[in-house]
Amino acid sequence: MDSFVINGGRPLRGTVRINGSKNACLPLMAAALLTDQPVRLLGVPNLSDIRNMQRLLDSLGCDLTAGGDGELTIHGTDASRVLAHYDIVRTMRAGICVLGPLLAARGRARVSMPGGCAIGDRPVDLHLRGLEALGATITLDAGYIVAEAPPAETPGGPRRLRGAHIFLGGPNGSTALGTANVMSAAVLAQGTTVIESAACEPEIEDVGRLLISMGAKITGLGSPRLTIQGVESLRGTPPAGYPVMPDRIEAGTYLMAAAITHGDVTLENFPTDTLGAALDRLREIGVTAEPVAAGGAEPDTPASAADAVRVAVSRRLNPVQVVTQPHPGFPTDLQAQIMALLTLADGNAIVTEKIFPDRFLHVAELLRMGAKITRVGPSAMITGVRELVGAPVMASDLRASAGLVIAALAARGQTTVNRVYHLDRGYEQMETTLQALGAQIERVPGGSV
Ligand code: EPU
């Protein structure tokens, strides 16, 4: 298993272009199962989770063709395949995204139950409840979700889901992938579906926009109430293709990496509109993302949906309170990264995790680097220290690992971050990006220190 060896203490300087969003791209790819015409996506990131989704779609009878610059065309050609095998889904929870599209377009699905992961149990009860409301019959068999749409009303016709009024809220708010699944299924259902307490995450909005470009009728995207009028069939994407939104979590991660090193970094393709809560917390800490026009000149207008920003950081970092919440609140996927930044703030900060209350795998590792953190249930109190010190660390979660890399970039001496395959799931060649910004970071193949 590869490791990163990082010698900290160098301010990052330069420009990074933010890639397409992993968490948007996975359900976007699954949506290709809804049509027998080609779906062409642009700006698909080169990540192991994306490659796993490609394997899954290949096993489900899709032809996949990758072009240059993150172009990926997915063409469902064998609609008889409905089995999402455990071997693939266990490596990538987002495999569950194929359930709704398979059920809607092919009338049935047999999808491996994804199981838990390092950040918690990760149930899928809301996905199943939503699909059942659309008329699906769902049973569990040998670790697989077996789902069937209601039989055709006329003999020989296709099985078809039926529109319904659905409440998708759970104990911790809505469900992002659950909303993607139910929305993707409802677009081909008979009649109208209303989803209440739908996820407002920008990635789910992106899925809705793709579906609309394929002929779906959806209103209310980005709000907790979606109305979907079912259509008979969907076409492929327009010939020019569909651009995947920029990755707001990658953007926030590099922003915090720049801030903790007191560097001077410009982030291009930065999705300002999707990061309101994170930018608000960072502003209070003393970190801002100032809009810049291409070429570095000051712009006339503020940063728009995807723009270039230049990170500015005050000498002293202020401690703040952070509570993770569903969008538009502070994203859980940036919790570990902001905690790393707060380890060097001037005072006591509090971070509360409300989406995945056990998502604190980075805490014990940050302690090994000299951080002062006390965890009480779903909260952590972080008492800022003058410096972090390099150490061998490991985290069994993607974002926790990103938090450790951020801490290592500022730490005195050498840090080895073990098991970086977690990072490879969500960050495209992170070491190359950071090297280009002047960080001393090397990938050591197969090493476990
Ligand atoms: N939940 C239920 N029942 C369900 C589904 C979810 O109780 O059926 C609960 C979860 O346990 C959690 C909350 O609802 O407490 C929210 O979970 P959600 O379903 O929204 O998570 P997800 O859709 O499985 C996506 C991202 C995660 C991100 C969460 C929250 C992808 C592939 N994954 O997961 O991203 O943390 O939304 O925003 O889109 C990551 O990228 O590192 C990552 C974990």
Taking only the tens place, the pLDDT of each residue in 183-206 is: 999 999 999 999 999 999 999 999
Q: Is the pTM of this model over 0.85?
A: yes
Helix (H, G, I), strand (E, B) or coil at 103: helix
Q: Tell me how far the alpha carbon of residue 293 lies from the centroid of ligand 1, in angstroms.
A: 35
pLDDT band at 303 (very low <50, low <70, confident <90, very high): very low
pLDDT tens-place string over residues 216-237: 999 999 999 999 999 999 999 9
Listed in sequence order, the DSSP H helices in 119-275 are 125-133, 176-186, 202-213, 248-260
Just list the catalytic residues.
117
Overall average pLDDT of the 257-270 stretch: 98
Q: Tell me how far the alpha carbon of residue 122 lies from the centroid of ligand 1, in angstroms.
A: 7
List 65's β-bridge partners, or say none.
Answer: 73
Distance, CA of 12 to CA of 430 (rounded, Å): 13
Asked if the model's pLDDT at residue 272 lies above 90, the reply is yes
Asked if the model's pLDDT at residue 397 lies above 60, the reply is yes
pLDDT value, residue 121: 78
Q: Tell me how far the alpha carbon of residue 178 lies from the centroid of ligand 1, in angstroms.
A: 8
* Residue 225 exposed, middle or buried by CB count within 10 Å (0-12, 13-18, 19+): exposed
Ligand 1, atom 18, lies closest to the CA of 175
Asked if the model's pLDDT at residue 49 lies above 80, the reply is yes
Pocket of ligand 1 (CB under 6 A): 23, 26, 94, 120, 122-127, 170-172, 175-178, 199, 201, 332-333, 355-356, 398-399, 426
pLDDT value, residue 448: 45
Index of the ligand 1 atom closest to the CA of residue 327: 38
Average pLDDT, the chain: 94
Instruction: Collect all residues with Cβ–Cβ distance below 8 Å to 118 and sequence separation of at least 6.
Output: 361, 396, 397, 400
Please say whether the beta carbons of 353 and 339 come within 8 A: no
Other residues' Cβ atoms within 10 Å of the Cβ of residue 139: 9
The candidate with the shortest Cα–Cα distance to 175, out of 203, 197, 207, 153, is 197
Kindly report the backbone phi and psi dihedral angles of residue 362, in degrees, each rounded to the nearest multiple of 5, phi listed first: -80, -20
Asked if the model's pLDDT at residue 298 lies above 90, the reply is no
pLDDT band at 293 (very low <50, low <70, confident <90, very high): confident
Q: Which of 158-172, 288-302, 382-396 has the lowest mean pLDDT?
A: 288-302
Listed in sequence order, the DSSP H helices in 46-195 are 48-59, 86-89, 99-106, 125-133, 176-186
Angle between helix axes 22-30 and 248-260 (nearest 10 degrees) is 170
Q: Tell me how far the alpha carbon of residue 124 lies from the centroid of ligand 1, in angstroms.
A: 9
329 Cα distance to chain centroid: 15
Instruction: Collect all residues with Cβ–Cβ distance below 8 Å to 303 and sequence separation of at least 6.
Output: 270, 272, 289, 291, 309
Overall average pLDDT of the 412-440 stretch: 96
pLDDT value, residue 299: 52
pLDDT value, residue 120: 75
pLDDT tens-place string over residues 313-368: 999 999 999 999 999 999 999 999 999 999 999 999 999 999 999 999 999 999 99
Return the amino acid letter for 5.
V
